Amino acid sequence: MKRLVYSLVLFTSLGCKADNWHDPRMVYGFDNIEPSANLTWTSCFDNFTCSRLEVPLDYSNRSLGTTSIAFIKLASKNATVNSPSIVLVPGGPGASGVDLLLGQSSTTGQIFGEQYNVISFDPRGVNNSGPRLDCFSGSTEARLTFNRLHRTGATNISSTSLEEQYYSSSIYGEWCNDAAENQSPHGYYVTTPAVAHDLLTFVEAEAELAGQSPSDARLWCYGISYGTVIGTTFASMFPDRVGRMILDGVLDAEQYYDNDWRDNVDQMDETIEMFSSFCHSAGPETCSFWGPTPADITARMDCIIDQLQNHPVALSGVQSRNLPELVTYSDLKALFINATYAPLASFPDMADILHQLEHGNVSSLRGKFIGQDITSDARLVIQCADSYRRNRLTTIEEFRSYVEYTTSKSKYIGDIYPIFLETILCRSFRPQLPDSMVVQDPINGPQRPTSFPILFASNTIDPITPLVSARKMSSRFPGSILLLQEAVGKFINRNSLPFCRPRLHSYFDSGYISPKTTRTTASGRSQKVTKPTMTTPSTNAAGEPFNLKKIWTNSRYQLKVMATRDVEADTQYMDAFEVAGMPAIAVDKI
């Protein structure tokens, strides 16, 4: 008895919900949740509720049956029945939104405001959502063997590597087709247009649950990376159902559906060049690969690349009793490509590794290339099903020309990117999907403006989802806004939480983006920024008031990233807004 009282006091004092502890229905996964066509939430993972929403496999042919989509919800601290929900749309393809929200739950209130419930989901084919496809049907040996045959290194590493990679790529599709035929007959029913429709089903089910009219329900969402393709697809299919939509780290949806990931290499070298400049400004105490000029740092880096290309390093393992290994040029390239995913966070480690390499120690590059082997098929299954019929990468000539393009565009990453991305593996997929499952038109945006303007967001240097893609997608959606931030990396939010927060809040709250009227100069003084004023239409096509102010703003912080290693607090910002259909103005001139 005493013990029980003690534990209750303990839970109360820690702020845990004691009743949850005893809740026999609390689940820590989705297996024990019954799929349902209406939205039924079950307590899960201590602080969340989970649901498996039953949706038709094919919205235009319901006789094919259903599958279920895993949703997870973090109720806002200030929730009311009418609190809007913001859906976090995960990247990939193949990334789990459930994992994303579980990992981000402590920051969502700060990012979006405490008055919004935050929801995420596993898109079709991913983790807790059906239908699932394991191309190698559990055979780890077949998967490993395929990886060894196909992943021979940077595509341009030898005079035969391109052919080896091209001809071996057919194996993958053959295994996937066989698994789809024999084990998961609807394994290819995971295309993005269907995912967009699932989101509509979700917001309608949510409205129904709240006693509102499903046909008026609108999607409020924040999409990142590939999640922006889900966003633009949704906005094209259901332009009147856009409530709020922020698309951050924008992927060119047209190139995505064509399996022609071309613009992605646009800013990769610029990013790697930023490494040299950041390292130099950080100083010798902080950047272990420091040099007297950025050009010196770049030259030493280039020298290491050349050396490893001509002289892979053998690690026999005799002394350490480790397995033998060969550290190659491709391992170094894998380091670069990995760094581009979170440049500011990875640069200090990259400096350490380059410093060790310069002193003849290659051990930290060991296994870097193999570490990027394909271990889960969700990404490629979605990507290849989506580009089925439009695939621009099927013949060896197309592959060669693609590799020539990427290598000519990016000295550092162009030759490793094709084998990293593996778009060539789509060429032997035979999804046999009906028209209703695949995107029919280019993503040109709807004929009329969306019911609420989309906010696209991009850093000025984004190594994976470059600014050029954000500009292009924004131009396809009349009335949309592009928020630019002078920073290096993917996602405006990760780099600059304190800065972006007010912008994101005001977009969600009122659709109004507050102008910043001062900027901090290099000397730390505040300076007034003059804002060009524009005429703004007062309502959109749906008759709603337009609150978005077409204003360019500009603010600058000092760059101390390498010096403090504090990515969130110190980064350089310059933001500007562009409105689709208006000429961009050079932000520097403001």
Ligand X SMILES: *[C@@H]1O[C@H](CO)[C@@H](O)[C@H](O)[C@H]1NC(C)=O
Which CB contacts under 8 angstroms, 24+ apart, belong to 433-436? Answer: 433/188, 433/189, 433/191, 433/385, 433/388, 434/58, 434/60, 434/61, 436/58, 436/59, 436/60, 436/61
- Does 22 contact ligand X by CB under 6 A? no
Phi/psi for 488 (5° steps) reads -110, 130
Q: How far is the CB of 204 from ligand X (least distance, A)?
A: 13
Shortest CB 93 distance to ligand X, Å:
13
Query: Within 407-446, which residues bind ligand X (CB under 6 A)?
Result: 407, 434
Q: Which of residues 32-51 bind ligand X (CB under 6 A)?
A: 36-38, 40, 45-47
Report the residue number, 209 or 237, with the smaller CB distance to ligand X: 209
Beta strand ranges found along 274-432 (DSSP E): 313-315, 325-327
Instruction: Name the DSSP class of 153.
Output: S
Near ligand X by CB under 6 A: residue from 6, 10, 21, 29: 29
Residue linked to tokens 């239409």: 537
Q: Is 387 in the site for ligand X (CB under 6 A)?
A: no
Applying CB under 6 A, the span of 57-65, 168-176, 289-297, 466-474 interacting with ligand X comes to: 57-65
**Are 490 and 463 spatial neighbours (Cβ–Cβ below 8 Å)?**
yes
Q: Is 78 in the site for ligand X (CB under 6 A)?
A: yes
Give the pair of three-digit tokens for residue 242. Answer: 């856009």
Q: Tell me how far apart the alpha carbons of residues 590 and 270 are, in angstroms, rounded to a whole number.
A: 24
Query: Does 356 help bind ligand X (rule: CB under 6 A)?
Result: yes
Quick check: 127 binds ligand X (CB under 6 A)?
yes
Choose, by CB under 6 A, the member of 18, 26, 64, 305 that binds ligand X. Answer: 64
Tell the burial category of 400 from Cβ atoms under 10 Å away from its Cβ (0-12, 13-18, 19+).
Answer: middle
Name which of 215 and 530 has its Cβ closer to ligand X.
215
331, 307 contact by CB (below 8 A)? no
> Which C-beta is closer to ligand X: that of 44 or that of 473?
44
Residue 98 in the binding site for ligand X (CB under 6 A)? yes
Which CB sits closer to ligand X, 210 or 295? 210
Segment interacting with ligand X (CB under 6 A) among 190-198, 228-236, 342-350, 541-549: 342-350
The residue from 346, 450, 465, 469 that contacts ligand X (CB under 6 A) is 346
The two tokens of residue 367 are: 């296994």
- The answer to whether residues 141 and 90 touch, using CB atoms and an 8 Å cutoff, is no
Site for ligand X in 149-208 (CB under 6 A): 156, 158-159
Residue 363 engages ligand X in binding (rule: CB under 6 A): yes
Interactions with ligand X, residue window 294-333 (CB under 6 A): none
- For residues 588 and 507, what is the distance between their CA atoms, to the nearest angstrom? 24
Residue 433 falls in which region: left (phi positive, over 0), alpha (psi -120 to 50) or beta: beta
Consecutive H or E run containing 70:
strand 66-74
- Which residue in 19, 306, 404, 568 binds ligand X (CB under 6 A)? 404
Residue 64 CB, nearest approach to ligand X (Å): 5
128 sits near ligand X (criterion: CB under 6 A): yes
What distance in Å separates the CA atoms of residue 228 and residue 441, rounded to the nearest whole number?
A: 17
CB neighbour class for 166 (10 Å; exposed up to 12, middle 13-18, buried from 19): buried
- Shortest approach of ligand X to residue 407 CB, angstroms? 5
77 binds ligand X (CB under 6 A): yes
**Tokens at residue 175, please?**
């295994």
The span from the CA of 347 to the CA of 357, in Å, is: 15
**Is 368 an interacting residue with respect to ligand X (CB under 6 A)?**
yes
Shortest Cβ 499–ligand X spacing (Å): 20
Query: Smaller CB distance to ligand X: residue 96 or 168?
Result: 96
Phi, psi of 88 (to 5 degrees): -80, 120
Smallest distance from the beta carbon of 6 to ligand X, in angstroms?
Answer: 20
Closest distance of CB 512 from ligand X, Å: 19
Binding residues vs ligand X (CB under 6 A): 29, 36-38, 40, 45-47, 61, 63-64, 77-78, 96, 98-99, 105, 114, 127-128, 156, 158-159, 338, 341-342, 345-346, 356, 361, 363-364, 368, 371-372, 404, 407, 434
